[in-house]
A and B are shown apart, each in its own frame.
Chain A
Amino acid sequence: MSVLLEDIRPWRHDLGGCLHGCLATLLESRGVTALPVLGAAWTFRHFPGGVRREEYYYPCRAGDSLLQALAPYHPVRSEWHEPADAAAGWREVREQLSAGHAVAVAVDNFELSFRPAYRDVHSNHLVVVHGYDEERGTVRVLDAVPPAFHGDIPLAELTAARNSGNDLVHERDMFFTGVHIGNRWLSVELGVPADEFPPLDRDEADRVLRLNQEHFAARPDGDGYRGLAGQEAFLTGMVKRLAAGEAIRDELFVAAGAALACTAVHADWLALAGRTLDHPGLLEQARAVDRVAHHWSAVRIFAALTSDGEVSPARLARRVDALMRDHESALTGLEQERTRL
């Protein structure tokens, strides 16, 4: 028996990663255009102790799914499935494919011959699976992260990647290693039919911009760091911990990666809204938000260099200060633009 789900397209954002790419592909496979959904929310959340060693890490509140965390303004959710073993892992994915649903599966790049990390570096990655051929013993895999891959691989290879212990072996096994992949797979669900999702019109732009303003204005609620005040508290806390000699590399690097992706994809949402609504002011604000994303690019590398002592607390503090000022300025500009819609 073989199954090949059609119209499964790669989706990539240069400052996003496998999480945005896979969720976008799965949403579009359900008939939902990805960017208006995945790029709407511009938020900041961080949960101390909650950073997971996954390339697809994204900060989630308890009870929220990954997709809800990325797209809280739309009727979508995702669900992690945790099979008992490799055999159950394939059986469950096969059932989904047979039912016409593409899924995302967690994998260790070390086991995948199309990844540059093959037999070199372990990493906890996410790819889409949308077909299988039992006669040939292959599965159809889509990975939009460079080097982009879309093709068949042996089922045994995918199984090894899904069932990997993802061992931390050497110094380049960083951030995303040391946790079992566990054959996990991720499904996406829509709360309403695709054609009932809100169109990207002026009302929708107003709604999204207002919700983002409310998010960043919210005070900490005891559930980790959130909003602009939470972002500043988190970042200044990182500076203080660095000054105290603590190791902050992993936590700041991974948290900055999530913030970078969120900010940059939202910038693209703003640009899309600006073009769709023929509203040049939104295009200008898209660029202002991109500027904030570019700060996060720098923060990410500052974080990486803290372990070698190359980054002083003063250097990191200056970057944090500039990021916060540009973030506040962007929010001011966005609110002004919202009133002009």
Chain B
Amino acid sequence: MKERSRAVPVDLAPYADNTGITSARATAAGAFNLWGNTFPAGELPPPGTAVVDGLPFRFPLAPAGEPDNVRCAGQLLPLPPGRYDWIQLLAAAERRTEDQALLHYADGAVDPEWLRVSDFWPQTRSRFGAAPAYECRVLHYPRHVDDKFGPVVWRHRVPVPRESDLAAVRLPDNPAIHVFAMTLVPALVPATEGAA
């Protein structure tokens, strides 16, 4: 028998540097991509805890129009130390792309692991086998709301293979990748070990 403790949402607010979500009243307040497209706040969870596929995420706490996602530029994110199986992400990319994140363990070990993120652009399926977290019905442009199609926030995951405490993750330097939320899924631990 194995059991898993509760998932650990990570606060990305201190690292948010891109505004990808706007309200319909102020669509020019952000620019997820070069053309100023943004996700519609009205179709995404309110700031705070959101549950996706049974996993709790700390959805961006910023009000619509304020920085709400981390554009990957090699940031080192400290994590609550612990044994984890997965780093789960709510993320989207400007065209699909991939790079290696660097997993820093508490004992000083560092392993690269692939972070693959699917395209936010509407009507584009994931080529990485990701699950859509939020499929919006409209896409925001700086001067209008287009209701012909909507962007997608994807749920992706990065494995944590090493059987030791994870302490931090360095995101890749790839500005096409945007991360909205991150949750650590604790490792399955044998019941006897957990009880010791």
Contacts and interface: CB of A to CB of B under 8 A. Distances in A.
Judge: A and B partners, yes or no.
yes
Contacts of B99: 294, 298
A163 to B, nearest CB: 24
Interface in A141-193: 146-148, 172, 174
Interface in A304-329: 304-305, 310-311, 315, 318-319
Contact of B96 (A14, A148, A304, A318): A14
Contacts of A147: 122-123, 146, 148-149
Interface string B123-159: 1110100000000000101111010110000000000
Given A147-B122, A318-B173, A116 B141 contact: yes
Contacts of A302: 175
Given A14-B127, A146-B124, A310-B175, A301 B94 contact: yes
A114 interface: yes
B96 A301 contact: no
Contact of A116 (B93, B119, B148): B148
A59 to B, nearest CB: 19
A301 B175 contact: yes
Interface string A271-301: 0000000000000000000110010011011
B95 interface: yes
Given A147-B149, A172-B142, A298 B124 contact: no
Nearest to B37: A116
B98 interface: yes
Contacts of B139: 116
B176 A146 contact: no
B42 to A, nearest CB: 18
Size bracket, chain B contacts: 20 to 34
Contact of B35 (A15, A146, A172, A319): A172
B164 interface: no
A148 B139 CA distance: 14
A84 B165 CA distance: 71
Interface residues of A, number: 27
Contacts of A201: none
B121 interface: yes
A121 interface: yes
A148 B34 contact: no
Given A146-B124, A146-B149, A148-B123, A297 B173 contact: no
A14 B148 CA distance: 18
Contacts of B175: 298, 301-302, 305, 310-311
B36 interface: yes
Interface string B85-99: 000000001111111
B144 A120 contact: yes
A304 B34 contact: yes
A169 B127 CA distance: 36
A22 B35 CA distance: 23
Nearest to B150: A147
Scoring A121, A147, A298, A304 by chain B CB atoms within 10 A of each residue's CB, the highest score goes to A298
B94 to A, nearest CB: 5
Nearest to A268: B127
B36 A172 contact: yes
A27 to B, nearest CB: 22
Nearest to A307: B34
Interface in B22-37: 34-36
A305 B177 CA distance: 13
Given A116-B148, A120-B144, A318-B173, A15 B95 contact: yes
Nearest to A123: B35
10 contacts: A14-B121, A114-B148, A116-B149, A172-B35, A291-B98, A294-B98, A297-B97, A298-B174, A300-B176, A301-B34
Interface of B: 34-36, 73, 93-99, 119, 121-125, 127, 139, 141-144, 146, 148-149, 173-176
Given A15-B95, A116-B139, A301-B34, 15 more contacts: A14-B96, A14-B121, A121-B35, A121-B141, A174-B34, A174-B35, A294-B98, A294-B99, A297-B93, A298-B174, A298-B176, A301-B94, A302-B175, A304-B34, A319-B174
Interface of A: 14-15, 114, 116, 120-121, 146-148, 172, 174, 260, 290-291, 294, 297-298, 300-302, 304-305, 310-311, 315, 318-319
